[in-house]
Amino acid sequence: MLVTDLNHFAGLPDDTPGPARRLAAHLHDIVRAATAGDAGTAWETALPCRRRPGNRPCPGRMIVLRTEARAPIRWQCSVCDDEGVISNWEDSAFDLRRQRLALAEPVSEIVIPDAVAAALRGLQLLDTDCERLVFAIRGRDGHAIIAATDDDLAELIGFVAAEANNEPSRRRQQRLDAAFDALSTAAQAPGS
Ligand SMILES: [Zn+2]
């Protein structure tokens, strides 16, 4: 059980060693997911496990549970025994809880490849609503499921297009183009 306090991972200096930086990024993603998705129930995110048993990535996904404010966020891998708790996540830069109630609009569930979910998590320019959408993506049977209204989807596609246009790295641009295609196809699909 990895017991962590998010305050200890805030503002890490530039010369922080790679493993500590990767752990911080992992914990930040878990807090984003746990605060973007439902509270009071454990659910499987699209976040990959950080472990590499036998030098192969663990195929598990992070299962997160957030109960009430002031209680630590609990997380565990869906495959291996990696698990932990994170305290002092409230009101951090990674706390994506809604500040006000949202109107209930019809939501479509769209299946996207894991690589697309990862590309969406890497977007730098997202507003908080779109960031919440991206970190609420669920893992299911090796796929990722995004739940979005038509308006959410249109907004997210706009962010992906803008970032793809300005992306200097050819490899990252290809990943963003693939994400753009996957979301655009879903947005045009009948019934979505
Ligand atoms: Zn694992």
How confident is the model over 147-183, as pLDDT tens digits? Answer: 999 999 999 999 999 999 999 999 999 999 999 999 9
Bridge partners (DSSP) listed for residue 145 = 111, 138
| 91 Cα: distance to centroid of ligand 1 (angstroms) | 28
State the average pLDDT over residues 65-81. Answer: 94
Predicted pLDDT at 189:
74
| 58 Cα: distance to centroid of ligand 1 (angstroms) | 5
Predicted pLDDT at 91:
92
Task: Give the pLDDT band of residue 192 (cuts 50, 70, 90).
Answer: very low
| 48 Cα: distance to centroid of ligand 1 (angstroms) | 8
pLDDT, tens digit, 9 for 90 and up, residues 94-105: 999 988 777 778
Tokens for 148, please give them.
Answer: 């979005």
- Provide the sign of the torsion angle of the four alpha carbons 61, 63, 19, 90, taken in this order: positive
Helix%, strand%, coil% for the chain, nearest 5: 40, 20, 40
| 63 Cα: distance to centroid of ligand 1 (angstroms) | 10
pTM metric for this prediction = 0.90
| 185 Cα: distance to centroid of ligand 1 (angstroms) | 32
Task: Give the pLDDT band of residue 1 (cuts 50, 70, 90).
Answer: very high
Instruction: Give the DSSP H or E segment for 64.
Output: strand 61-65
Q: What is the chain's mean pLDDT, rounded?
A: 92
pLDDT, tens digit, 9 for 90 and up, residues 75-92: 999 999 999 999 999 999
| 141 Cα: distance to centroid of ligand 1 (angstroms) | 15
State the average pLDDT over residues 120-149. Answer: 93
| 18 Cα: distance to centroid of ligand 1 (angstroms) | 20
| 49 Cα: distance to centroid of ligand 1 (angstroms) | 5
Predicted pLDDT at 14:
85
What separation in angstroms does the CA of 81 have from each of 16, 124, 160? 27, 31, 35
* Cα separation, 9 vs 21, whole angstroms: 9
pLDDT, tens digit, 9 for 90 and up, residues 18-42: 999 999 999 999 999 999 999 999 9
Predicted pLDDT at 190:
62
What separation in angstroms does the CA of 158 have from each of 45, 81, 147, 151, 181? 24, 39, 17, 11, 12
| 47 Cα: distance to centroid of ligand 1 (angstroms) | 11
| 59 Cα: distance to centroid of ligand 1 (angstroms) | 6
* Cα separation, 162 vs 65, whole angstroms: 33
| 149 Cα: distance to centroid of ligand 1 (angstroms) | 31
pLDDT, tens digit, 9 for 90 and up, residues 52-65: 999 999 999 999 99
| 165 Cα: distance to centroid of ligand 1 (angstroms) | 35
Task: Give the pLDDT band of residue 69 (cuts 50, 70, 90).
Answer: confident
